[in-house]
Amino acid sequence: MIYTMVYELATHRFLRGGTLTPEYNPALEGIEAYAPENPPDLVVERHDPASQGKRRPATAPEQAAAVAAQRDSRSDAELAQALNLATVDFVLRQVLGRAPTGPERTAARQQFRAVLRAILDQ
């Protein structure tokens, strides 16, 4: 088994990876195989085809940029989750004409997640 990493051609920053060959855009991204027990770290390493192990330590500015990118993506995910929950609560209030109870809110959120998963899996 191998661990395949996708990296950005312009910066050699590792973007994502896994044990299955990920989809990637060959015009902008490259892929490299690594041992699954020692995959590259997205923050502290960069792809380097000339070095042993095909990776190198990231510079301090590269590490800072990677941390900022992770923070931004986490913030986007948190915002999306909050938006989903607010949408469910808003619709419940409109349909019920009152504030939903805890069990009503939980049931509606579960239904919303199921519908969202079904849409994303299409």
What residue ranges of the chain have pLDDT lower than 70?
none
With contact defined as beta carbons under 8 Å apart, do 14 and 5 qualify?
A: yes
Quick one: pLDDT at residue 87?
86
In terms of domains, do 81 and 103 share one?
A: yes
Quick one: pLDDT at residue 121?
82
In terms of domains, do 68 and 115 share one?
A: yes
In terms of domains, do 36 and 79 share one?
A: no
In terms of domains, do 73 and 28 share one?
A: no
Quick one: pLDDT at residue 33?
93
Determine if the pTM surpasses 0.85.
no
Instruction: Put residue 10 in one of left, alpha, beta given phi > 0 → left and psi -120 to 50 → alpha.
Output: alpha
In the numeric block, which tokens belong to residue 90? 């808003």
Residue 103 belongs to domain spanning: 63-120
Quick one: pLDDT at residue 9?
96
Pairwise CA distance, residues 44 & 119, whole Å: 35
Quick one: pLDDT at residue 34?
93
Q: What is the dihedral of CA 69, 71, 76, 82, to 10 degrees?
A: 180
Which among 40, 58, 76 is the end of a domain? Answer: 58
pLDDT, tens digit (0-9, with 9 covering 90-100), for 74-102: 777 777 887 888 888 888 888 999 888 88
Q: Look at the chain and report how many structural domains it folds into.
A: 2
